[in-house]
Structure 1
Amino acid sequence: MKLTADPVVVPTSGGGYAISYLKSLTVKFAIPAGSTFVSASYSGGSALGSGAVTVTASGSIVTLSVPGNLAAGTTAVLPEVTINLQATGTSGTSLNAQLYGSSYSSFSIGFTARVTGVPLFGSVDAVTKCYAPTNPILGTTVIS
């Protein structure tokens, strides 16, 4: 399965404070029931900073990691992630591509924003973790 994200416009401000950049961006994908993980890779991407992009798998999660820095005001294009699976379910079983995560401790998307001009602190790193309470299906493959 191939997963492609929409381009990300890196914000220049948040909560009334300036943002310099985003770093340590992670996007987690769930390995669907009815399959086992074989391999994962990425291709493409732009405006992702100087760090090495990686795709790793652990348990039932495939993680795309972009160390950054993603400069404020730029449009970052995340790499396309290809996940190769071995079907283990019966014929007719749907393998749903979805983000992983259902809580802040078990999140889907995470990043750190460098926020500047904060009274008493100056610049701070604001760690952000996101998940969708109703995790949408991004695509489906049916075992034949």
Structure 2
Amino acid sequence: MRYILVAGLAYAIDLGGFMLLISIHYSPLVANVLVKIVAAVFGFYAHRYFTYSIVDKEEIGKHAIRYFGLALFYTPVSSLVLYLIMLVCSNPVYAKIITDISLFVLMFWITSKFAFARGDSKTTPAAQDLHGVPLNGPE
């Protein structure tokens, strides 16, 4: 239940922020980058502390490097796919939703291998949210 709450809030920040920014005339690509940053920061801390109850300060640096390193990969890819989809779908909100769904599978594979993986292999990949957090729930 915690996972669903955090993932839902992170996506609400992502999509809601995107809708807000385009309504005040931000470019869809700029809006996408800005909301990805905000949602990623929220998702990292909320999942780390609330969902997975990880408080080990030694591992926070490792998790942050992997998580935000993946965000640095994901955000430009997401913006590129959004741009390409907007070539055939003029509605930026629909294009963003299609983009997010399309990239979900790719990010599942990548983040389940790298984000929040523990050295002792206690984290088993299952699925993940759009911000790279595994769905296998709290340990």
TM-score by length of 1: 0.30
Higher relative contact order (CA 8 A, sep 6+): 1
Identify the structure with the greater strand proportion: 1
Larger Rg: 1
TM-score by length of 2: 0.31
